[in-house]
Amino acid sequence: MLVFALAPFTTRAQDSAGATADPPPASDQAHASPELVGSLPATAPRLALAHRLIDETEFIEEMKLSSTVRYIKLEPEINAAADKLPEGDRSTFALLFSMDYETAEAARERRMLNEIVVYYATRMNDDELRAAIDFYGSGLGHKLIRTPQNLTPDERDKVRKYLTTQPSMIKLTKVSADYRNSLQARREALNAAFISDFGARFCQSLNSARIKVSYCPTSGLHKSPGMNATSANAPGP
């Protein structure tokens, strides 16, 4: 069985590649779930500030790393499923799985980025966002995000004091904790959305390649049998 798990939210990442995504388009902001939109207006300048904060905390790089780890864990199961196919279809099956998984993950990353930007922008004002950006953009902030294990005792003390005494950082800590709780509460729904998206893409690719499997009937696309909110099962052909 092929299992897909949603990685827990975290802002700690490996070294950033330096890429910056575009701010969430108006359509994504407008369709944000009501429970994710706070009381502050999602103005363009505030959305841009929230996006800068997410860049500084390297959220997207962490998501990409998590995606890579998930795929590596799936490879034995992918190969086992491919081995059940005729020899001429095996390499194509594995290639299509890889391509469609990457595309579905990219779509998930984009949705998550848009969501978290709106979440922060409607809960923190401009000054609070700027203060958080300044901290995480500083040398100490970068060290906290990238190599926290290398913080000296004095630096750890400075970080602790700053995070627990500065109003903007206290607010950020609360907003981040609330967002993590929101993710946990929606975990099953988010997994189901990813499974549905990936399953539709993969079945379409298999059908186009004329690779027949029991969970992708040529008569139409649907979720694979046995898929649920926490796993996606791809039985043998």
Collect all residues with Cβ–Cβ distance below 8 Å to 183 and sequence separation of at least 6.
6, 8, 9, 190
Contact 227, 195 (CB under 8 A): yes
pLDDT for residue 19: 37
Exposed (0-12), middle (13-18) or buried (19+): which is 48, by Cβ within 10 Å? middle
**Tens of pLDDT, residues 56-78:** 988 878 888 888 898 999 999 99
What's the mean pLDDT in 206-218?
Answer: 86
pLDDT tens track for 184-203: 999 999 999 999 999 999 99
- Per-residue model confidence as pLDDT tens digits over 8-52: 222 222 233 333 444 444 444 445 677 789 899 999 999 999 999
3-class DSSP state of 139: helix
Confidence of residue 216 (pLDDT cuts 50, 70, 90): confident
pLDDT at 101 exceeding the cut of 90: yes
